[in-house]
Chains A and B, each alone.
Chain A
Amino acid sequence: MSAQPPLPAGTVERWAWDFICSTDLAQKLAPPPPPTQWSHPSEPHLIAAPGRPPQLVAREKKKKTPKVQLTARRAEVIHTFLHHELQAAELMAWAILAFPSTPVSFRRGLLSLCRDEIRHLQLYRDHLETLGHPFGTFTVNDWFWKRVPASSRADADQAPTAAHFLARLGIAFEGANLDHGARYTAAFAAAGDARAAEIQAQIVEEEVPHAAFALHWFRELTGDVAFETWRQYLPAPISPAMARGTPLNVEARLKAGFAPEFLDALAGWDAGPAGQK
C-alpha cells in the first residue's frame, strides 16, 4: 500500500483509494459521497490489502458459521455478513483502480455497486447496534481480499483482468450470496428476528442486479457466459462448488440472468469427476 495516494484529489479514483486504504472505522462504515469527476488514469493501481481500523481484530482461520437462534450468535453471523459487505465494497473500489482501461460505463457501474454494498453494511451495522454487538465486537477475516485480487488473473505472473474479477466476485460470490442470503432470511425469521430477516431479504433483492451486472459484463468482455467459459476464469483451487449455496436460489438467479443450463451445471458440479469440488 502506498503512503502517497498517486491520484488527484476530488476524483472518484482518489475517493476509491481513500476508502480502501482508510484505517478510520467511521470512514469505512460511512465514507463521504464520491465526487462526480473521474481522473481516468492510464495505468492500473493495484492495492494489495485494505486499511484496517484498530477496532477490527483479524483472525486468519475461517470459523464455522454459528447457528442464529441465540442473539449473541446471530450477532456474530451478522457481523460476518457486514464484513463481507465491507470487503465487497472495497473490492468494487479496487476494481475501479485496477481496470482503468475498461469502458467507463463498466467503472461507473462498479461505483454504483460499491455504494450499494456500503448501504448494505450500514443496514447490518445499525442492526448490530440494536443487538448490543457493534461492529468490531468479533474478529474479522479478510477472506475475500485474500482471494479476489490474487485470483483475478489467469496466472500469478499476469496482470489482473476484469473478466477474472467478474467471474470470481460477481458471478461466483455474489451469485452464491443469493443462495446463502435466502437461507439466512428464513433462519433469521425463524429465530424471531424480523428486522434481520427484512434486511437480509432486501440485500438479496438488491444483489440480484449485481449478479446481472457481472453476467452482462463478463459476456461483454469474453463473448460468452456459458458455464464452461466461466469455469475457465476461476483459477485453481477455486471451483464452482464455492460459488453456490444449498439450495440454489433459482428464482433470484434466473431473475439475474443465469441461464437454466448454467444453473443445472452449477447444481450438478459434485457429480463430476473426483477432485472437482
Chain B
Amino acid sequence: MSRGRVAWVFNLDAEDELARGGPHTPTNVMRARVQSLMPQLAALMLAGDEVLWPPGAPLQHARVGLAWCPTPWALEQLRRAGLEVPEAPDPAVLRKVNHRQFSNDLGQALPGARFVHTEAALREALGDEPVLERVSSERNWLLKRPLGYAGRGRRKIGSGPWSPADRTWIDAALKTGDGLQVEPFVTRVLDCALHGEVTVDGSLRLGEPTRSIIDEAGTWVSSERAGPSDLTAAERETLVHEAQVTARALGAAGYFGPFGLDAFRWRAPDGSTHFQPRCEINARYSMGWAVGLGSS
C-alpha cells in the first residue's frame, strides 16, 4: 500500500447506517467495540496515520480523511474535522453493492440458497428438506438479513415449526421489505477471503488469498495469508476468478474502492467437500484487507 498519511474513520457499523438510511449516530456500544478492535484495525494503518473515529488523541498531521466505508456519516465526520474528503461512491451505490440481493443477482452457489422477500417464499425455501438433508449435517437453515456484518443479523433455524423467538426475528426481518438470504447451514471446514480494490477508472488490484478464523457466531477473529496447502489449486483459481467477476460487477454498479470477497470450503453429510467461492461481498475495507493486500 502506498499513500499519504490519513485520518481514519472506522465506521464498522456502516451496514447499520446503509440499512436504515437517514441520520446516523453510532451507539456507545459500537464505539467501545471499535475501540477494542483497534489493535487489529491498526493493520490497515500506515506509519503516521491517525484515527478520527472512534475519538482518541487529537489529530496532529493528517490533512486527508479515509473511511472504513464512505457512508454519509463517515464523510461528514471527515468534513467536520476539516479534512480533505476522498471521492466516494454514491450512498445508494454503497447500499446496493453491500446488499445480499446484489450477490444473489450474480448467482447463488450454495444448493438450496435463495433470497426471499415474503413469508410464503421463506416457508417454501425452508421446506426444501431433500436439499437440506444432502447439504446440512445439522439439518438447519441460516437466515441472513441483507445488510448484516460481523455475524450480526443471522439466525439459525431448523426445518420444523418456528419458535416464538424465530417468529419475532423473522417478522422483524421481513417487515423492512428488504428481503432475507436463506441458505442451508453447512459445516465450514475452511474460511478464506480475497481482497482487492476497484479504482475509479475501473482497474482492479487483487491481493493474496487469506485464511480467516471465524468464531461460532460467524464473527471474524483473525486473518493470515493462506499458505500453499490451505487452498487447493482449483479453489484458488476459482476464488481469484470469482473476485475478478465480482469486481467487474461492482464497477458496473458504480462502485469504486476497497472490497473483500469471503468464501469457504464446506463438508456435506456424505463427507464430500465443496467450495463456496462467494458467501459475502464486502464493498468496503474489511478486517483481513491489509493482510491480503499488504506487502508482508
Q: Which residues of A contact B131 (CB under 8 A)?
A: 33
Name A206's contact: one of B106, B121, B242, B277 (CB within 8 Å): B121
In the assembled complex, the Cα of A173 lies from the Cα of B268 at a distance in Å of 36
Of the residues B105, B112, B135, contact of A212 by C-beta under 8 Å: B105
Chain B residues with a Cβ closer than 8 Å to the other chain, count:
35
- How far apart are the CA atoms of A277 and B268 in the complex, in Å? 51
- Is residue A165 within 8 Å, beta carbon to beta carbon, of the partner chain? no
Q: Is the CB of B245 within 8 A of A109?
A: no
Q: How far is the CA of A113 from the CA of B111 in the complex (A)?
A: 11
Q: Are B252 and A109 in contact (CB under 8 A)?
A: no
Say how far B283's CB is from chain A's closest CB, in angstroms: 15
Interface string of A81-113 (1 = CB under 8 A from B): 000000000000000000000011110111111
The reply on A36 being an interface residue by CB < 8 A is: yes
| Closest A residue by C-beta to B107 | A109
Of the residues A36, A116, A216, contact of B106 by C-beta under 8 Å: A216
Tell me which residues from 114 to 138 in chain B have a Cβ below 8 Å from any Cβ of chain A: 114-115, 117-118, 120-121, 124, 128, 130-131, 134-135
**Nearest Cβ in chain A — how far from B245, in angstroms?**
6
Q: Which residues of A205-230 are within 8 A (CB) of B?
A: 205-206, 209, 212-213, 216-217, 219-220, 225
A69: interface (CB < 8 Å) = no
Contacts of B104 in A (CB 8 A): 209
User: Considering the complex, which residues of chain A in the window 66-81 have a beta carbon less than 8 Å from any beta carbon of chain B?
Assistant: none
Asked whether B130 lies within 8 Å of A219 as measured between CB atoms, the reply is no
Q: Tell which of B111, B135, B248 has the most Cβ of chain A within 10 Å.
A: B111
Report if A37 contacts B (CB, 8 A): yes
Cβ-defined contact, A104 with B238, below 8 A: yes
> What is the minimal beta-carbon distance from B234 to any residue of chain A, in angstroms?
9
B42-75 residues with Cβ-Cβ distance < 8 A to A are: none
Contacts of B249 in A (CB 8 A): 216, 219-220
Chain A CB within 8 A of B187 CB: no
State how many angstroms separate the Cβ of A224 from the closest Cβ of chain B: 10
Contact A202 B121 (CB under 8 A): yes
Q: Which of B194-248 contact A (CB under 8 A)?
A: 238, 241-242, 245, 248
Minimum CB distance partner of B109 in chain A: A108
Cβ of A119 under 8 Å from chain B: yes
Q: Are B105 and A216 in contact (CB under 8 A)?
A: yes
- CB-CB < 8 A to B278: which residues of A? 105
A119 touches B130 (CB 8 A): no
Alpha-carbon distance between A204 and B117 when the two chains are bound, in angstroms: 12
Chain B nearest CB, measured from A163 CB (Å): 15
Are A209 and B248 in contact (CB-based, < 8 A)?
no
Extra inter-chain contacts (15) besides given A32-B130, A35-B134, CB under 8 Å: A34-B111, A36-B111, A36-B272, A104-B238, A104-B277, A105-B106, A105-B242, A109-B109, A112-B113, A198-B120, A202-B118, A209-B105, A213-B106, A220-B248, A220-B249
Binding site for A on B (CB under 8 A): 101, 104-109, 111-115, 117-118, 120-121, 124, 128, 130-131, 134-135, 238, 241-242, 245, 248-249, 252, 268, 270, 272, 274, 277-278
